[in-house]
Structure 1
């Protein structure tokens, strides 16, 4: 394995593992706060139980996310020194904000976990709100930095070096804002459906359980609202990609040749010998209509660009198709949930829907992973588009394959520990949890 491939594989594995904890850290605090707010509003002890259990789950994911995030920060410097030398002065502000948000989240999560009965109700709820806001802020600024890598702004090149640096302009790059919005809704949809699926599984085992019904309602509301908005902001993001990164958009959509009245394509397998897609289904004029609101609008094709800057087209196209397919499936689940909740009033009684929710548990995370594959691989061979190639940014240090094997084992171990802890946490019997909640009348804030 080449040094470049080993470094890219190690970074991809670390990011792919960390992103699960990052998106849960963005969404779980919000649901935790909603549960506490419902308890304060209604006085229903079920919501207090939900808030406390979700807070413990949030703490577990936060702890592991902190470890994997620290590993990533070291890997950025050790594996990609040329990237950090080039980009550090420009997007360093984003990582400074992310660090501040992380420490704020840690402090207020501690207050939330141990502040029951020690601070006022509104102060405790506010602490949870700060945890939620800090988690979202951490994710947003990192995505803004990634957006800068796709559409670099905020500097000029003088004698081969960045100068006249404006870190605010760098953060306000054309890609970052829409990418951040897409990431937030993806995090809420993935986590909401995953948590709803877990409680749906437990409802199938314990029908009528008030705890699981209340938890499912909150999680499903967060997941469904986000899933319904996701295709909309995805459409805005696609238009932005078409304007600023036409080669990536062409790879996403399987657009080989520049064409007016371009069709929307479903499926397809990239044939590198023919430089075309096989087994593809076309919907006439649909892509031009979506991108330009004009069925005869022009869409730039892959072959408009030099072959040496083509990304791995088959990987990018496949990842994008999986993401879109899962997104529409989750949107359909959201519509189904709304029908059952508001029209037939059988949300908790529909075993078919509850089983579908259980099957949906991993889908949002899979969509997020393949979405990042499409975004990052679609930028190749560039690490900073137009300025620095990935091959130029990698460290010359040998032996990265050994680190790849070590971290694969480490992440597998961490994943097993987290799954074991969360399984014990979510399947605690009602009796066990009621014992924990004994005397809850004296445990109010």
Structure 2
């Protein structure tokens, strides 16, 4: 493995690890706030216990996300110094604002965790809501920075220099909205289905049914709604990419030749040497419609792009297919849940029904990882699209392979610790949070 591949692999590992905790950190506080709201309105202690259980999970993911995010920030400078030399002054604003959002989130988490019976109940609830809002803002700001890498803006490039820098224009680049929308909805889908799957497993085991059914319903409503609307944001993203990054779209669809009434490929294995795709199902004109809103539109293929600027087609195409497949399965499960809640409520307690959602537990995060693979690999060979190639930005420092191994071990250790803490937390729920008293009890009055 050469240093360039080692550096790219290290960033891929770091981002792939961090994105899971970032998604959960963006979304779980909203689940927590929803459960807390129901407790304040009804006095149901199962909702209070659920809020407390979820808040401990939020704290675990916040700490892990903070550590992994900090490591990512350092890696940008250590692995890609040429990129940061030129890009830092231009897209530094969203990172600075993300730091502010992070501090607000940290303060709000402290208020929420230690505010029980100390604050006015509704002020306490608001602090939990702020955790979610600030976490969501952090995610959107980071995605805005990534959007700038895909759609550079806010500067003029003259004689090899970046001048007339406008940080606001850089932050609100052409890609930020579609990327932020798609990523935010994906976070709700992934977290919703993961949390619902865990509580479905507890329901299947018959543990603390009243507690887990409430948790399952909150999580799957968020996740199901998000999954159903996600194809809309996906359509917006596809049309945006078709205009800004035709090479990425061509790699996603293994579209080797510029074609009018271009077909959409379902599945298939690209053969980059022979410029063909094997075993794919074609839907005539569908790619033209998705990319340009017209079944007869011409879609630019890789044949009109210099070969040295082609993204890796096999990886990009397969990742895109995995993302879409997982997404469509979750759309189906979301519709199934809402049909069951409307017409077949007894299904929710059936073994086969719960097994479907248990099996779907990892699908959202598989889709997220695949989606980021499409975003990052599909941009290659550029680190800053159209301006700086990844090979030009990598550090000249030797021995990156050893750094990659060390960071891999660190992330594996963090993963093991987080899994252990979450397992212990889930296992302790029946003992710590089961209430044997009056479930109609109203919230206690706070210390004013």
Match of 1:37 in 2: 37
Q: 1:436 to 1:32 in 2, by over 3 A?
A: farther
Match of 1:403 in 2: 403
1: CA distance between counterparts of 2:179 and 2:79?
25
Q: Deviations over 1:386-434 (max 9, x none)?
A: 1100011110001111111111111111111111111111122523323
1: CA distance between counterparts of 2:437 and 2:23?
29
**TM-score normalised by L of structure 2:** 0.96
* Equivalent residues of 2:207, 2:430 under 8 A apart: no
Q: Residue 282 of structure 2 aligns to a residue in which SS?
A: strand
* Equivalent residues of 2:42, 2:442 under 8 A apart: no
Match of 2:304 in 1: 304
Aligned-pair distance for 1:292?
Answer: 2.5
* Equivalent residues of 2:53, 2:429 under 8 A apart: no
2: CA distance between counterparts of 1:389 and 1:420?
40
1: CA distance between counterparts of 2:360 and 2:277?
30
* Equivalent residues of 1:116, 1:443 under 8 A apart: no
Q: 1:128 to 1:436 in 2, by over 3 A?
A: farther
* Equivalent residues of 2:148, 2:173 under 8 A apart: yes
Unaligned runs of 5+ in 2: none
Aligned-pair distance for 1:6?
Answer: 0.7
1: CA distance between counterparts of 2:282 and 2:291?
16
Match of 2:179 in 1: 179
2: CA distance between counterparts of 1:81 and 1:436?
59
Match of 2:219 in 1: 219
Match of 1:386 in 2: 386
* Equivalent residues of 2:264, 2:284 under 8 A apart: yes
* Equivalent residues of 2:40, 2:443 under 8 A apart: no
Aligned-pair distance for 1:215?
Answer: 0.5
Match of 2:368 in 1: 368
Aligned-pair distance for 1:278?
Answer: 1.6
Q: Residue 349 of structure 2 aligns to a residue in which SS?
A: coil
Q: Residue 280 of structure 1 aligns to a residue in which SS?
A: strand
Match of 1:336 in 2: 336
Aligned-pair distance for 1:122?
Answer: 1.4
Match of 2:322 in 1: 322
Q: 1:49 to 1:392 in 2, by over 3 A?
A: same
Match of 2:260 in 1: 260
Aligned-pair distance for 1:437?
Answer: 9.8
Match of 1:126 in 2: 126
Match of 1:421 in 2: 421
1: CA distance between counterparts of 2:199 and 2:371?
26
Match of 1:270 in 2: 270
2: CA distance between counterparts of 1:84 and 1:71?
15
Q: Deviations over 1:76-98 (max 9, x none)?
A: 11111111111111110010011
Q: Deviations over 1:316-338 (max 9, x none)?
A: 00000100110111000000001
Q: Deviations over 1:298-321 (max 9, x none)?
A: 111111100000010100000001
1:197 aligns with 2:197: yes
Match of 1:27 in 2: 27
Aligned-pair distance for 1:126?
Answer: 0.9
Please identify, of 64-73 and 196-205, the stretch whose mean Cα deviation from structure 2 is larger: 64-73
Q: Deviations over 1:54-83 (max 9, x none)?
A: 000000011111111111111111111111
Aligned-pair distance for 1:346?
Answer: 2.2
Aligned-pair distance for 1:105?
Answer: 0.4
2: CA distance between counterparts of 1:437 and 1:278?
63
2: CA distance between counterparts of 1:444 and 1:198?
33
1:147 aligns with 2:147: yes
Match of 1:106 in 2: 106
Match of 2:92 in 1: 92
Q: 1:122 to 1:441 in 2, by over 3 A?
A: closer
* Equivalent residues of 1:143, 1:180 under 8 A apart: yes
Q: Deviations over 1:173-205 (max 9, x none)?
A: 111111000000000010010000000000001
Structure 2 counterparts to residues 62-73 of structure 1, below 5 A = 62-73=62-73
Q: Residue 277 of structure 1 aligns to a residue in which SS?
A: strand
Aligned-pair distance for 1:280?
Answer: 1.6
Q: RMSD over aligned Cα, in angstroms?
A: 1.7
Aligned-pair distance for 1:159?
Answer: 2.2
1:210 aligns with 2:231: no
Q: Residue 162 of structure 1 aligns to a residue in which SS?
A: strand
Q: Residue 280 of structure 2 aligns to a residue in which SS?
A: strand
* Equivalent residues of 2:90, 2:167 under 8 A apart: yes
* Equivalent residues of 2:208, 2:434 under 8 A apart: no
* Equivalent residues of 1:49, 1:437 under 8 A apart: no
Q: Residue 348 of structure 1 aligns to a residue in which SS?
A: helix
2: CA distance between counterparts of 1:437 and 1:131?
30
Unaligned runs of 5+ in 1: none
Match of 1:294 in 2: 294
Q: 1:290 to 1:121 in 2, by over 3 A?
A: same
Q: Which has the higher contact order (CA 8 A, sep 6+)?
A: 2
